Amino acid sequence: MRQPIIAGNWKMHKSIAEALALVAELMEKLPNPLPAEIVLAPPFTALSAVRDILAGTEVALAGQNACQHAGGAFTGEISASMLKDAGCTFVILGHSERRQLFGEDDALIHQKIKTALEHGLKVIFCLGETLAMREQNRTAEVVRRQLEAGLQNLTAAQMENLVVAYEPVWAIGTGKTATPEQAGETHAFIRGWLERAFGEATGAATRILYGGSVNPKNCAALLAQKNIDGALVGGASLIADSFCAIIDSTHSSCSE
C-alpha cells in the first residue's frame, strides 16, 4: 500500500509572517491523525521559520527548487544541503514553471535530481505535457521522454526517495483540471514505465501525484483513481480550509 502524499507548493507567495500565520491555521485545522503524508513548500525565505513551528509535528518541508551543484560560486542559487539545513526533507524539481519560464531542460533536471538524492533529500519530480502536445496526441511520448531523461541511471534504491508528480501544463493555475480518466490514463502509463525501468516492485511502490488546479471539489474523484497517490497543490494550498479539505478527501479516496 502506498501512503498518499498531499503537498502544497506555495510558489512565490507569502512573507515570513504570512507563512507563519498559514501554518498556525493549518495546525489547528489538520485532521488528527493525518490521513496522508503532508509536505509544505514555502518560499526559501520562510523555510527556517516554518521549520521551527513545525517542530514535533509530522508535517514535512520541501524546497521549491535546488541547484544542480553541491556548492560554490553560484550566485543566487540554493544547494540541496542548504535546504536540508533549513529543515527540508523534500525538494520539488522539474516543475513546469522552472522548465518553461527559467529554461530548465531535461538534462539539467536530471543533474538536479541526482545531486538532491546524493545529499539525502527526497525528490518530487514533476513532469507533464503542454496543451499543444496533448492536442497533437503526444502526451505519452513527452512524458516518456521526461521520465527517461530525468531518471536515467538511477537505482531502485534511489527511487525509494523519489515521488513523481504528473502535472499537465495546461492544468496548472488555469482552473482546468484533467478529468480523473485523463489523469488516470497518464498515471497508469507512468506506472508501467517505472515497472519496466526499475522492476515491478519499485514501479508498484513509487508514489505518483497529480497536480494542476486540484481543489476541494475535484480532489476526491482524482484521488479515487487507482494510480493517483496524492496531489501537488498550488493555489488551493494557500488557503488553510481548502488545503485541509483536500487532505480530508484522502481518507475516503486513496484505497490501494
Could you give the string, one character per residue 116-155, with x where binding to ligand PGA holds by CB under 6 A and - elsewhere?
Answer: ----------------------------------------
Residue 95 annotated in active site:
yes
Spatial separation of the C-alpha atoms in residues 75 and 48, rounded to whole Å: 20
Kindly tell me which of 35 and 212 has the beta carbon lying closer to ligand PGA.
212
- Out of 37, 95, 129, 187, pick the active-site residue: 95
CB of 157 to ligand PGA, least distance (A): 27
Among 37, 122, 234, 247, binds ligand PGA (CB under 6 A): 234
User: Contact 184/225 with Cβ under 8 angstroms?
Assistant: yes
Kindly tell me which of 170 and 193 has the beta carbon lying closer to ligand PGA.
170
Quickly list H helices, 39-169.
47-54, 80-85, 96-101, 106-118, 131-135, 139-151, 156-159
Residue 235 found at the interface with ligand PGA (CB under 6 A): yes
Closest to 126 (Cα-Cα) out of 34, 190, 40: 190
- Out of 104, 129, 167, 187, pick the active-site residue: 167
Could you give the string, one character per residue 15-54, with x where binding to ligand PGA holds by CB under 6 A and - elsewhere?
Answer: ----------------------------------------
User: Contact 219/252 with Cβ under 8 angstroms?
Assistant: no
CB of 250 to ligand PGA, least distance (A): 16
The residue whose grid cell reads 498556525 is 24
| Beta-strand pair 208-211/162-166 | parallel
Residue 251 annotated in active site:
no
For the record, the C-alpha cell of 46 comes out as 520562510
Q: Which spans of this chain sit near ligand PGA (rule: CB under 6 A)?
A: 9, 167, 172-173, 211-214, 232-236
Catalytic residue numbers?
A: 95, 167
